[in-house]
Amino acid sequence: MKYSLLTISIKPTLARLILVKLRLVKLTFVKLAFVKLAFCCVLMMHCFHAMSVTQDQFKVHGLSAFENEQAKMLKDWLTQGVNATRDTLGVYPTPLALHLYPRESNQPVPWAYTRRDGKGSVHLHVDVRFGLTKFVDDWTIYHELAHMALPYLGDEYRWFSEGFASFMQYQIMAQAGLLKGKLVDNYHTKISPHLRWFNSDLTAASIATRLMDNQQYPAAYWGGAYFFIIADQLLIKRHSTTLTELITHYQDCCRTHDKNLADVVTSLDGILNEALFSRLLEQYENKPAREVYPENFE
Ligand SMILES: [Zn+2]
């Protein structure tokens, strides 16, 4: 379902369900009138629900720094970004606070970050000389919003957090029909150049941490993203599900209570009833990286 700041749409599945029900019933005129009334009530109730969800889901700060037209474009962009993220990772239990700042650059979103104090917030520096399409096609918003699917994991697990957001940015874009080329090819292009760092007897976690400390960000981010490639493959094989489906479920059951990586891993394993994530993390922290990472991305 798409929620918008300005318009409310009806869940297609809900409308379909009601139409099917209508077809099944032999309707007299009176019955039809009653069903129409009930139909309107359902729609109205759904609209009220959708409206409250929309208003609670995200708040934009900093729009007054932009002209009206630009502010509208930015609002449309953020609405689309939140909707696309929600379609892939579920509805976050805590409303999102999105902060905008004007900045001239050679790209629409030259700088962005999340702050994790209190409820957490996303901060985006934007160059509004670029149009809506360029903003929507830019991966930054999906990456930053994906971060908010997990709690703050601390400096020690920055590789995990950045790996997660990097993996998810393409999942969100692919599901929204925005990713150019195949998902697997995009991962291949991003991850392959960095596999050589993991051809080592050191552990994958220590290598990813060192890459992060040395500010080798693409290597740290995409090297970390490989954790989630493995997790996704295991989930498909053993549980007939995907990482994005699992994370959607995680928002409902567990996100609010979790405070650190140990909590997250316990929750995910709890949903699966298998120690899949704790075992994989254990491998990352104890096994030689060359036994976890392939030489070539397959
Ligand atoms: Zn990030």
Q: Are residues 141 and 183 in the same domain?
A: no
Tell me the pLDDT band of 298, cut-offs 50, 70 and 90: confident
Quick one: pLDDT at residue 101? 98
Domain boundary among 103, 125, 147: 147
Quick one: pLDDT at residue 41? 41
55 C-alpha to center of ligand 1: Å? 26
Does residue 190 sit within a domain?
yes
Does residue 192 sit within a domain?
yes
Lowest mean pLDDT among 3-17, 43-57, 233-247: 3-17
Q: Are residues 28 and 137 in the same domain?
A: yes
Q: Are residues 103 and 206 in the same domain?
A: no
Does residue 163 sit within a domain?
no
Q: Are residues 143 and 193 in the same domain?
A: no
Does residue 161 sit within a domain?
no
Tell me the pLDDT band of 8, cut-offs 50, 70 and 90: very low
Q: Are residues 32 and 77 in the same domain?
A: yes
15 C-alpha to center of ligand 1: Å? 38
Q: Are residues 92 and 184 in the same domain?
A: no
Does residue 156 sit within a domain?
no
Q: Are residues 143 and 191 in the same domain?
A: no
Does residue 217 sit within a domain?
yes
Phi-psi label, residue 155: left if phi above 0, alpha if psi -120 to 50, beta otherwise: alpha
Domain membership of residue 91 as a residue range: 12-147
Residues 149, 82 contacting (CB under 8 angstroms): no
177 C-alpha to center of ligand 1: Å? 22
70 C-alpha to center of ligand 1: Å? 26
Residue 138: which of 185, 116, 106 has the closest Cα?
Answer: 106
C-alpha of 9 from chain center: 22
Tokens of 69: 């037209």
290 C-alpha to center of ligand 1: Å? 25
43 C-alpha to center of ligand 1: Å? 39
Q: Are residues 32 and 140 in the same domain?
A: yes
2 C-alpha to center of ligand 1: Å? 25
Q: Are residues 130 and 186 in the same domain?
A: no
- Percent helix, strand, coil in the chain (nearest 5)? 65, 10, 30
User: For residues 71 and 273, what is the distance between their CA atoms, to the nearest angstrom?
Assistant: 46
Q: Are residues 280 and 232 in the same domain?
A: yes
Does residue 297 sit within a domain?
no
Q: Are residues 129 and 55 in the same domain?
A: yes
Q: What is this structure's pTM?
A: 0.82
How does the average pLDDT of the chain come out, rounded? Answer: 86
255 C-alpha to center of ligand 1: Å? 18
163 C-alpha to center of ligand 1: Å? 8
100 C-alpha to center of ligand 1: Å? 17
More confident residue, 13 or 154: 154
Domain boundary among 124, 147, 170: 147
**Total domain count, the chain:** 2
Q: Are residues 191 and 275 in the same domain?
A: yes
162 C-alpha to center of ligand 1: Å? 5
User: In 161-188, which positions are buried (b, 16+ CB within 10 angstroms) versus exposed (e)?
Assistant: bbbbbbbbbbbbbbbbebbeeeeeebbe
147 C-alpha to center of ligand 1: Å? 7
Domain boundary among 99, 123, 147: 147
Does residue 167 sit within a domain?
no
